[in-house]
Structure 1
Amino acid sequence: MSDRRRSLLRTLADAEGPVSGPTLADDLGVSRAAVWKHVEALREAGFDIESSADGYVVRTVPDYGGDAIAFGLDAPYAVDYHDRLPSTNDRARELAAERATDVLVVAGEQTGGRGRLDRPWSSPAGGVYASLLVRPDRPPAHAPICTLAAAVAVTQTFREAGVDAVIKWPNDVLVAGSERKLAGILTEMEGEADRISWLIVGIGANVDVPAAELPETATSVRVEVDEEPRSGSRPAADGADRRRFCQRMVEEFHALDPDDVLPTWREYAVTLGREVRVDTPGGVVEGEAVDIEFPGALVVRTDDGDRTVHAGDCEHLRPA
């Protein structure tokens, strides 16, 4: 999407009423004819834009898509949208190689989504599959705090949508109680000795996904809010608005200060206070998860004392 199209969308989204052609032309630094072409392109993309003597006003917005996500997005990211991609993280890597930054890559569907350790990630239609490409002024060792910040942002967004979401260390968002999976986060980066060159936060969130399309261990906003039977296929619930969900999780992430995110992460964490088994590169660590330390290490109380785990697969153990 061009900078001018993005500016036009921002102006129309912020306006409380019609915006005249001359005003849009001045704001964009283009002719009125060019404004008309941009408006026609938005109409072709599914926007209902009414024109009158007073100017242009947006009446309805498409359900999903790049322009739809950009319209009203209160965060400074360009939107790179694709109906289908193998992986939004892979596309973000391509953009990082082109020196891009502050880009939100979104796919309507993913055909080759992956999680940690290159495990396949189910990406059925109706989910939100997005990757944020940023260049934070931080050392590489701080990258895990961005994963925690993303987990907080996604959890807050699920809660706004009416789902009681919680966080499982290190990168999963679950439903409280059943602990079915709502979302996963995959953070990748490239860095030098003292700073991150680029960082990609990939998020796969089950939003408007019917129960029949989900694994037994997963759920979605559609299922939870609409109380849809796992064999059902009813229309989406009001909370299962992919466009608004995508916007809100990006806005929440942008508003967070990673240095201040740990208290909120602890509040949402379902891992703390649980008996866990963590498979780490150095072996298995088993005990009670008692805390989280900056930039994202889990503290596990074992029979031999507290262990600080920086990375690993965490399993919640059932009570004996």
Structure 2
Amino acid sequence: MEDQATRLRKLVERKISGGAGGLQKETAQGGTSMPLPGGARVIAVTSGKGGVGKTNLTVNLAIALGKKGKRVIIVDADLGTANVDVLLGTSSRNTLLSLARENVQLEDVLIRGPYGVSYISGGSGMEHAGELTVMQRQMIFSKLSACDEWADIILVDTGAGVGRNVLDFIMASDEVLLVITPEPTALTDGYAVLKSYRQLEATQPIRLVVNRVYDMVESTETASKLICTAERFLHMELKSLGFVFDDASMMKAVRRQVPLLAAYPDSLAAKCVEALANSLLSGRPQRVKLGWQGFLRKFFHNMH
């Protein structure tokens, strides 16, 4: 019997040719674009526990990728606690679950938000997604498949933890970003995600993003702990994509309901996110120019 992830993978592979009607579509930047023949790159952004900054990273990463000319759609799949529209300071009438209704199409739920971010809201009530009938789920998956034609990159913001819904989205993606922090609980819960991932015999590449680090040394040490543990006990090769500095600008941006890259584009954390976007596109290691702020940060830290 097929599970949700299996059906979704088959739908994505099949490519729905008539769903978009062959018409030009308005982009978040106001221009027009035609469907992509090759399909989008689907990246699941997940975490072992809540509160590590997963959704914040997803939104700002979408902005950074958009600045580099990529068409990005965020699918807010954090069931029950969707926060993408909260971080953007917007609201949405239709959500992902609205696609279960016959009269609702993808263009009705795909929101052209501010800062060039296009997204599909998870909204409230997503915790009832498990109550959908098989036909309703197939209808949602079928309509969502059209996203593959209108984006270069689709970021799927999953829920935290190892619930079945989270694992379904992870298994259906092309690659996975696992967001952790230096906190011991974040590392433990991150390992739980890797263990479940391994038990499902997943083959998608999974990379770490270490959020809220003080410096690159802390990032390297934190990532190494999880990488070594995964290799020793799970016989699993794990790599690090990079890190994001712990920056007061991030919390200020959240309170303003304005993404970091829009509110404080010159902050250290914003530079880290842009470097992560470069790494995703180029495959090269993350390189962050710390500048004067970085100099001051290290100088005063060394005085203690």
Q: Whose relative contact order is higher, 1 or 2, with alpha carbons under 8 Å and at least 6 apart? A: 2
Task: Say which one has the larger Rg.
Answer: 1
Asked if TM exceeds 0.5, the reply is no
Q: More strand per residue: 1 or 2?
A: 1
Q: Tell me the TM-score normalised to structure 2 length.
A: 0.32
